[in-house]
Amino acid sequence: EIVLTQSPGTLSLSPGERATLSCRASQSVSSSYLAWYQQKPGQAPRLLIYGASSRATGIPDRFSGSGSGTDFTLTISRLEPEDFAVYYCQQYGSSPPRTFGQGTKVEIK
């Protein structure tokens, strides 16, 4: 099973700042099969990125994903008030189980 470790646990930033979130895998994630989700309190997760760098439908271009192998990054270029939330990475390698990171909370500084 691939274990995903996200860092930092909490990121305190101001609107307009750049957010950089990390997701590190315990072994190589095949073909960059990695996704990112945003979750707000009381809501289901929302897909942001799949295939490490492909934005899902309707996701603003301030969200971008990069990385390969064991190191992946989600970048929010300029934080909007609605971007303060918890973010999860998820790998979907060649076979299940599909696993999630423990999450990074982006909070208002």
Partner 1 sequence: QVQLQESGPGLVKPSGTLSLTCAVSGGSISSSNWWSWVRQPPGKGLEWIGEIYHSGSTNYNPSLKSRVTISVDKSKNQFSLKLSSVTAADTAVYYCARVGITVTTSGWFDPWGQGTLVTVSS
- The least CB distance from residue 20 to partner 1, in Å, is 20
Burial class of residue 103 in the structure, from the number of CB atoms within 10 Å of its CB (0-12 exposed, 13-18 middle, 19+ buried): middle
CB of 97 to partner 1, least distance (A): 5
Where on the chain is the footprint of partner 1 (CB under 8 A)? Answer: 1, 31, 33, 35, 37, 43-47, 50-51, 56, 88, 90, 92-93, 95-103
Pick the closer one to partner 1 by CB: 13 or 59.
59
The residue whose two tokens read 């999860």 is 88
- Contacts for 49-56: CB closer than 8 Å, 24+ residues apart: 49/74
- Which CB atom, from 65 or from 84, has the smaller least distance to partner 1? 65
